[in-house]
Chains A and B, each alone.
Chain A
Amino acid sequence: MSETLSYIFHLLIFPGGLFALLFGLLLKGIDRKVFARLQRRIGPPLLQPLFDVIKLGRKETLIPATAHKGMFRFAPVLGFMGAMVAAMFIPVPGVWDGAPGLGDMLMLLYLLPIPAVALILAGSSSSSPFGALGASREMILMFAYEIPLLVVLLTVALRVGYATGGVEFSLARVVEYQLAHGSFLLDPVMLPAFAAYLLFIPGTMGSVPFDLAEAETEILEGPLLEYSGPSLAMFQLMFALKMVVVTGLGVVLFFPGTLGTNPVVNLAWFCCKATGLMLVAVTLLRASTGRLRTDQTFRFYLKYPTGLAYAGLGLTWILG
């Protein structure tokens, strides 16, 4: 009973739920501020995404007359719930062990595409041609970036379980292994896998140069076009949560070091590392590149991140 309560607490307050929401909105604010500074502008205040979400909660919701009302309302809720449950499974080294009794890497592999599926449902149910176009682009993009993710997860699992001759999918064991043997970032064998994961992050977050599903100037915000008010607020929260999950997973897979035993210090260190990963993978790319077309994105993903991921897997298999 107390275990269930503890799981509910970890789902709703920390590290899922409230903590992930606030941290995700802060991450998004940092992204916008640094992006503005890179362009010699001042940029919005750091908590601007929080103000956006609160404002959206106070506006009215308009639903197109020809849309499928049930699915239209349900899509953001689905994405939000999926992202929030996924946030619970990220272990914070030194503070929280990631609920190893409930799930592991494979669980995250199933939970991570849920926000993308929610976008596809939103686009299809909104009965607008821009929405349908955005939904089909997001589907194509999902094919592109899920393969590197799977191969990278396999690489890490293979590496951690090599000593026992099998694969180890539990994220808690991954953290333990790296705390004992040194983080994978410093290991040249795992570098191709890290590069592949770095390229996976902007694809899954829908940030430039791979933001064609939500292109503002081309298809007028795609699947989100017909959303307004609290439903749109839920989509923004879903994006914030997904940012936390994806960067948190990157930190856990490749460099989960701790700084002593104080949980507060470890938590702050984890947040700093996640922010750093986001700045490199999302903000820097956003400030320096333009959008790629659908076929260019697909070809890019099938060549470089997939190639790098398979190279990492091969190296790990051969060299251990």
Chain B
Amino acid sequence: MLTIFKLMWRNLVQGPSTEPFPFGETTTPERLRGKVAVDAKACTGCEVCISVCAGGALRQEERADGSGKDFYVWHNTCAFCGLCQEYCPTGAIRLTTDWSTVHLNQDKYTYREQVFIAHASCEQCSARMPRMPHGTIETIYGRTNPHLDTLYRLCPQCRREKAAIQLGANFHE
């Protein structure tokens, strides 16, 4: 019966437990799922993230001159679920801890990320191909060496030719 008065006295003595935000700082947990950011150098344009996105917030459009793709992330449909980060094979798309998303309604359609994913071109035959980022080579092979790097700067056709020549050279030795 008297517990409530004890509680009230304790509350008065301890003072407010209110966070000082928006007049002061607030804490952000380390693994908070905030706004999406794309690392253009690590993205290959495989579009796995687009097929798993819950809110349909991701879009990739091939540019007319074939130099690469425009990658759009519309924050107003992103559900911050993290599936894109989970399924991206190269770790290019990740969720930052930025939770401050307030904006005016007239900026609704411009509240987005836009990055340019450049295609690579083959060193030998200059054909257009998606880039192979460093991190992906490490994921596939467990380690990397200069030989693998030079190999993956060629398009698949040139790669096959080079590998066949090397195999043939080994046979003849």
Contacts and interface: CB of A to CB of B under 8 A. Distances in A.
A42 B11 CA distance: 12
Interface stretch (A4-12, A32-40, A140-148, A171-179): A32-40
Contact of A42 (B4, B12, B14, B18): B18
B5 A38 contact: no
B146 interface: no
A287 interface: yes
A290 to B, nearest CB: 11
B17 interface: yes
B8 A41 contact: no
B8 A288 contact: yes
A41 B4 contact: no
A46 interface: no
A37 B4 contact: no
A38 B8 contact: yes
Contacts of B8: 38, 284, 287-288
Given A42-B16, A42-B18, A37 B5 contact: no
B15 interface: yes
Contacts of B5: 288
B4 A288 contact: yes
A284 B12 CA distance: 12
A40 B11 contact: yes
B11 A38 contact: yes
Contacts, number: 25
A117 B45 CA distance: 72
Contacts of B12: 37-38
A43 B16 CA distance: 9
A37 B18 contact: no
Q: Which applies to chain B's interface (DSSP): helix, strand, loop or mixed?
A: helix
Report the interface size class on chain B: 10 to 19
Contacts of A40: 11, 14-18
A314 to B, nearest CB: 28
A42 B12 CA distance: 11
A40 B8 CA distance: 9
Contacts of B17: 40-41
Nearest to A37: B12
A41 B17 CA distance: 6
Contacts of A41: 16-18
B72 to A, nearest CB: 42
* Best-surrounded residue of B12, B16, B17 (most CB of chain A within 10 A): B16
A42 B18 CA distance: 7
A65 B158 CA distance: 81
A38 B6 CA distance: 11
B17 to A, nearest CB: 5
Contacts of A38: 8, 11-12
Nearest to B15: A40
Interface in A173-229: none
Contacts of B16: 36-37, 40-43
Contacts of B18: 40-42
Interface string A37-79: 1111111000000000000000000000000000000000000
A37 B16 CA distance: 6
Nearest to A287: B8
Interface in A7-43: 36-43
A292 to B, nearest CB: 16
A277 B170 CA distance: 101
Contacts of A288: 4-5, 8
A37 B15 CA distance: 7
Contacts of A37: 11-12, 16
Nearest to B16: A42
Contacts of B15: 40
Given A36-B16, A38-B11, A288-B5, 8 more contacts: A37-B16, A38-B12, A40-B11, A40-B14, A40-B18, A41-B18, A284-B8, A287-B8
Q: 10 tightest A-B contacts by CB? A: A288-B4, A40-B17, A42-B16, A40-B11, A42-B18, A38-B8, A40-B16, A38-B11, A41-B16, A41-B18
Interface of B: 4-5, 8, 11-12, 14-18
15 contacts: A36-B16, A37-B11, A38-B12, A39-B11, A40-B14, A40-B16, A40-B18, A41-B16, A41-B18, A42-B18, A43-B16, A284-B8, A287-B8, A288-B4, A288-B8
Interface of A: 36-43, 284, 287-288
